[in-house]
Structure 1
Amino acid sequence: MEQRASQENIHEDLEDQEGEYPTWVVSTLTTVLVVTISGDIVGNLLVITSVFRNKKLRKSGNAFVVSLAVADLLVAFYPYPLVLLAIFNQGWKMGYVHCQMSGFFMGLSVISSVFNITGIAVNRYCYICHSVWYPRLFSNTSTVCYVGLVWTLSLAAILPNLFLESLRYDPRVFSCTFAQSVSSLYTIVIVVFHFFLPIGVVSYCYLRIWVLVLNTRHRVRPGRHLQAQTWPYNLHGFITMFAVFVLFAVCWGPLNIIGLTVAIYPSLGGSIPHWLFVASYFMAYFNSCLNAVVYGALNKNFRREYKRIVLKIFQLA
């Protein structure tokens, strides 16, 4: 009872904090969110279109890339615009249902992003380190099943929020989001099993690939599991996806660390510095527009297809 009362007091304190930001802070948050939404929509639509248009990109492994782009688009079309409206209205005026749906889709997006990044890492690991097994493990049919599993597990992970009533409006970030202090057990499970554990799997996969890369460069020839004719492509593709993983971990890490800390020590919920909490949220939001930039910067096939699509649009206009 004392813990629940403490949690309710924290929530009430948060409600009292609404509208405390100076104009320049609100303007900065608005700018970050507008840039995020614009970059998210344009960039991820380019990614999806590129994969379907370019035969070199239309391979089973990129199914996770498309799925990750869909997860990023999910928040750009619904939750983020509602956050903008909350900023403009200086509070949540869209009602209870939109609050619950906004928080639900935001959670679904981030968890599916983690699982898609894990799928990409496992796919790259099998393709580079165990190329003999790869065709059997990642056929077109099996890959579609893996992507379906990613979204099924993501949905299962986020559904308990609707029963725990843990999706609430937080005036500090102008968002209806997961209230970390509502259920310590659920918060710990989500953070550990749906962030840190997948990050551990991804780290293992990329560590093994890096070891193989270094050994291969040292021997000046492809390793026994590598196909010499595809090794340069494997290396460039690996670096691209590794960069996506690093950016995701950097952007979402602070928020998950805060969530885990608050879950273990609920009394600290009200003592998290405002600037740190807000910065961690908007860093996490900003991640949704970065992946397309990484693909364009590091992958020549994506970069070339981006140019073709943009030129085609200008010709039609």
Structure 2
Amino acid sequence: MMSNSSQIVDDRTPVELGFETGSLVLVSVLGVPGNLLVLSAIFLYKKIRTVANGFVFNLAIADLLVCTVVVPMLIPSRIHRKWLFGDDLCVIQGFFNMVTMYSSLFFLSAIAINRLTMIRFPKYYHTIFTPTSSFVIYLALWGLAVLSALAPMIGWGRYKFDTTRDNCLFDRKAAPSYSIFMAIIGISIPILVCAASYMWIWAIFVSNRTILRQLSNDQNIGGTNFSREEVKLTKNLFIIWVAFFVCWAPMTIMLLTDPKGLIARPYYVASVWFLLANSCINPFIYGLTNKHFREGYKNIFVLCKRKLEGNVVHPSPDQQEVMPGHCGQSANTSDLGRQPINEQPDVQPSDVTDMVTASSPCTLQGSIDQRVKSRKLN
């Protein structure tokens, strides 16, 4: 197995080298925190912890792998125009390149089918896309991506260093049949599924323009079973697919039109950057187009700020010493405040329902004490 090639003459200027390297660094610098933010928002923020966003969650994992594994290993190769880490790591790099490509396309297809089911067959949506079935779909898509990427490692072709793109990739000449498999299963079918699904959705929207205008004011409209939020989410996810298509189009066109690699290297370098950049732009699209994602991002920033500041409240000098176990009660707390919990009058369930909306434990304790005092006076 060969991961290196003969010595390459590097005729790049310092400016070209700086631009090629800096653009890759930018992808990682933006992509790592951006995709971590998406994963954290979906995991922590209930409003966007949905079945549909479960596919977005997995897409963000694939993008994070690109930014943390693929790009950092590519930067030294781009600088030196050769692979520096040995044959075994070249194979691993090629494997991750293919896994992230397959998984991204598979999950984009799953997102398109999910949205089409929600819009066209809303009565069956919650039957088909249950949390359990969706989890099985996640695992199946990752499994298919891993198995497809493993094929060159077990004899169906091979991974080697590509001097045109400065990366360890599948050797197209080693196994033409795998190239056909990759072109059909890995690229063509997912793209066609996405295109057909969103065209069908677009046709439904066009035929329901009056209903869509009403959706701007109402949550649900008579004659439909989908909500304004579902329509917005579908439009947002369509934008994600369009961004993916635009970023992947240059490389796809060159692979189809230049099987012998005769196109000038700068065009390949630019197309690789577009392809990788797709992994760092999705978090920004989510934030710009989805209110709930923006709220999730904001909550995470606030949480991080509090963690960094230690979330410590320093009492003023004239504040009285607070007794352990009590909220805001000084040493001269009333007898009622010192009562054991089991001696306090019963609190009705309706009272508890009101009190759990309190913003802090101290507010909750104060609400309890106030109601207890009121009942004692009565």
Over alpha carbons, which structure has the higher Rg? Answer: 2
Is this contact kept in 2: 1:91–1:171, CA < 8 A?
yes
Residue 302 of structure 2: SS of its match in structure 1? helix
**What's 2:277 paired with?**
286
**What's 2:321 paired with?**
none
Residue 29 of structure 1: SS of its match in structure 2? helix
In structure 1, give the amino acid aligned to 2:91: Q
Residue 169 of structure 1: SS of its match in structure 2? strand
Aligned pair 1:251/2:247, yes or no? yes
Is this contact kept in 1: 2:164–2:261, CA < 8 A?
no
Aligned CA distance change for structure 1 residues 259 and 87 (closer, same or farther; 3 Å): closer
Aligned CA distance change for structure 1 residues 118 and 270 (closer, same or farther; 3 Å): closer
Aligned pair 1:102/2:71, yes or no? no
Deviation at 1:89, TM superposition (A): 4.2
Q: Deviations over 1:242-299 (max 9, x none)?
A: 011011111112212322334xxx4xx1422222222111111111111111101101
Give the 5 Å matches for 1:49-60.
49-60=40-51
**What's 1:145 paired with?**
136
Deviation at 1:39, TM superposition (A): 1.5
**What's 1:129 paired with?**
120
Distance across 1 between alignment mates of 2:237 and 2:6: 40
Deviates more, 1:115-124 or 1:69-78: 69-78
Deviates more, 1:165-174 or 1:155-164: 165-174
Q: Deviations over 1:43-72 (max 9, x none)?
A: 111111111111111111111111101111
Q: Deviations over 1:167-219 (max 9, x none)?
A: 11123332112233333222122112211211111111111111111221145
Per residue, is there more helix in 1 or in 2?
Answer: 1
Deviation at 1:18, TM superposition (A): 4.9
**What's 1:4 paired with?**
none
Distance across 2 between alignment mates of 1:207 and 1:217: 15
Residue 227 of structure 2: SS of its match in structure 1? helix
**What's 1:214 paired with?**
206
Give the 5 Å matches for 1:222-241.
226-227=224-225, 230-241=226-237
Distance across 2 between alignment mates of 1:89 and 1:253: 27
Q: 1:87 aligns with which of 61, 70, 78?
A: 78
Q: 1:199 aligns with which of 166, 174, 191?
A: 191
Distance across 1 between alignment mates of 2:6 and 2:292: 48
Q: 1:313 aligns with which of 293, 304, 324?
A: 304
**What's 2:341 paired with?**
none
Q: Deviations over 1:97-144 (max 9, x none)?
A: 111101101110111000000011100111111110001110000000
In structure 2, give the amino acid aligned to 1:23: P
Is this contact kept in 2: 1:51–1:58, CA < 8 A?
yes
Q: Which runs of 5 or more residues in structure 2 are unaligned?
A: 216-220, 309-378
Q: Deviations over 1:56-101 (max 9, x none)?
A: 1111111111110111111222221111122344522111111110
Q: 2:168 aligns with which of 158, 162, 176?
A: 176
Distance across 2 between alignment mates of 1:182 and 1:284: 24
Q: TM-score, normalised by structure 1?
A: 0.88
Residue 21 of structure 1: SS of its match in structure 2? coil
Q: Which runs of 5 or more residues in structure 1 are unaligned?
A: 1-7
Give identity over the alignment, percent: 28
Distance across 2 between alignment mates of 1:100 and 1:81: 15
Is this contact kept in 2: 1:18–1:91, CA < 8 A?
no
Deviates more, 1:78-87 or 1:96-105: 78-87
**Structural RMSD (CA):** 2.2
Is this contact kept in 2: 1:166–1:182, CA < 8 A?
yes
**What's 2:333 paired with?**
none
Residue 101 of structure 2: SS of its match in structure 1? helix
Is this contact kept in 1: 2:17–2:79, CA < 8 A?
no
Aligned CA distance change for structure 1 residues 270 and 68 (closer, same or farther; 3 Å): closer
Q: 2:22 aligns with which of 25, 31, 42?
A: 31
Aligned residues: 300
In structure 1, give the amino acid aligned to 2:180: I
Aligned pair 1:189/2:185, yes or no? no
Q: TM-score, normalised by structure 2?
A: 0.74
Distance across 2 between alignment mates of 1:290 and 1:181: 33
In structure 1, give the amino acid aligned to 2:177: L
Q: 2:104 aligns with which of 113, 128, 136?
A: 113
Deviates more, 1:301-310 or 1:86-95: 86-95
